[in-house]
Structure 1
Amino acid sequence: MGWDGHKFTNLQGVIGANSGYSIVKDLKNRGIKVEEARSTRNNFTKLKNGRIDGVADQGIVADAYIHKNKINNIVKINKPIATKDYFLIFSHVFSDQNPTLRDKIWDEISEHRDELSKKFMPRYLEEYQLQPGTN
């Protein structure tokens, strides 16, 4: 199976994705069969057991899961299926009264987002996997 940045090639079955993730709708809109799961762990377990053909997840989440669990018998496709912007939203009042501070916060987030995500994602995954009902 492959992904050329627009469509899958040689996809025979289903792609797993976490319930509630926007990628589920994106894939379904492309006519791709999606099996939703409660967690990244569930999706990788299904992949390991041959129940799904691939996992669509946030790159940083999947990378941390793969690294933490020393998974080396899968192939990661590096072209994203979709890219999404995320936002830190301020009230109109705060934004109007503090435009310099608002912009400074956004700049700091932009500058450090990737490095901090890589640093803290393994810890997040560990805590997330320990929550009841996420197995």
Structure 2
Amino acid sequence: MRNGSVDGFFGASYSNARSEFSVFPLLQDGSADVSRALCEERQFVYLRKGSKASWDGKKLTNPRGTILVQRGYNTANILRERGFRVDESVKSAEDGLLSLALNKADVAVLRGLQAEKLVASDPRFQSALTKAEIPFDEIPLYLAVGKSAYSRNAARIEKIWNEIRSSRHSEQYRKLLEAAGAR
């Protein structure tokens, strides 16, 4: 979106850096409107068993220092702001978990159900890794729109965001979430 090759993308977390070239649904005070997010996705801390790394919901301890994060996610910026070294070399949740299992790091912060399901069911990870019970963060994900696309048809984009809010708060949507095992 930065260079105008696409008009928007799904699943974008809000950040000041992204708002320089993107438009997100906003409240009147200028903050992101969570009610018009596509979803909220939890990020969990994954720990290599036998390491001295830990997460208690407030304090992340990582004696080896480096934390694995999927490339391109805002999580890396959040961790850097908190003083951690970040390795963004992993492309997917599975890559991050595999790196942990192979002892390349002791901690990974990964998004989504894929990582949760892999740790719970994949033998490569069950004996080597654990998921901390308390999420690291819950991030609203949006349909972000490029500034030029938004300026061409702001009313249409606002209508789409309003429909997202309506759909997410419908009974049918809640039933789909329950069926999928999401919260």
Question: Which TM bucket (shorter chain)?
Answer: 0.5 to 0.7
1:49-60 aligned within 5 A: 49-60=102-113
Runs ≥4 in structure 1, deviation > 3 angstroms?
93-96, 101-104, 112-119
CA distance, structure 1, for counterparts of residue 166 and residue 80 of structure 2 = 38
Q: Which residue type is aligned with residue 42 of structure 1?
A: D
Partner of 1:48: 101
After TM superposition, give the deviation of residue 103 of structure 1 in Å: 4.8
> In the alignment, does 2:136 pair up with 1:81?
yes
CA distance, structure 1, for counterparts of residue 126 and residue 59 of structure 2 = 25
TM-score (norm 1): 0.67
Partner of 1:28: 80
Query: Do 2:68 and 2:109's aligned partners in 1 also have CA atoms closer than 8 Å?
Result: yes
Query: Residues 113, 58 of structure 1: CA spacing in aligned structure 2 closer, same or farther, 3 A cutoff?
Result: farther
Greater helix share, structure number: 1
Greater strand share, structure number: 2
After TM superposition, give the deviation of residue 3 of structure 1 in Å: 1.1
Over the aligned positions, Cα root-mean-square deviation in angstroms equals 3.1
Q: Secondary structure at the match of 1:21?
A: coil
TM-score (norm 2): 0.52
Partner of 1:17: 69
Q: Secondary structure at the match of 1:87?
A: strand
Larger relative contact order (CA 8 Å, sep ≥ 6):
2
Q: Which of 159, 171, 174 in structure 2 is aligned with 1:111?
A: 174
The sequence identity of aligned pairs, in percent, is: 21
